[in-house]
Amino acid sequence: MLRQIIGQPNDGHKDTRAEAPAPAPAAERAPLLSTAAPAAQPQRAPSNSFSMTSSKNVLANDVEIKGSIKFSHDLIIDGKIEGEVLSDGSLTIGENALIKGEVKTRSVIIFGKVEGNIVVAERCELKSNAILVGDIAAGTLSIEEGATFMGQSSVGKKPESPKPAPGPRPQP
């Protein structure tokens, strides 16, 4: 059977033996006392199957969308979007990208062009070729030399809404 798996000819012999796993090193071998209980199967390494949560989704440079985009994890946009981009995840705007509309995400890295306001909970990065025409509200902001930014920025944690001070209570 092993010859069939690895593609070697069987030389006309019929092998009726059950295939046994490779023997363990002498230090790990234990005497077999009973063959009634099946041997424990070795743990398999995780398969290399594609997982959407660990990879980044990509909208290529030939994609044009008019309307809102919502996503959960990571997204790379290298195309043209006209509309809102909303997410709790991370957004990368590629060097060929053009976004016309508001961007609201957890974090954003901009290599391309954005015409609209950006609101991010954590970090906003404008790379050296980035062009942003709009306002930014972000936890942290990084602007590389060569980036173009025309707008206003509000950086840092949003202040909590003030609570009314307790005043004198009316007497009954």
pTM above threshold 0.95? no
> Would you tell me how many other CB atoms lie within 10 Å of the CB of residue 111?
20
The model's pLDDT over 36-71, given as tens digits with 9 standing for 90+, comes to 555 555 454 444 444 444 567 888 888 999 999 999
Which pair of structure tokens corresponds to residue 58? 């990509």
Q: Give me the chain's average pLDDT, please.
A: 76
Q: Can you give the pLDDT at residue 56?
A: 75
Q: Mind listing the pLDDT tens digit for each residue in 144-165? A: 999 999 999 999 976 444 445 5
Note the pLDDT of residue 162. 44
Which amino acid appears at position 41 of this protein?
Q
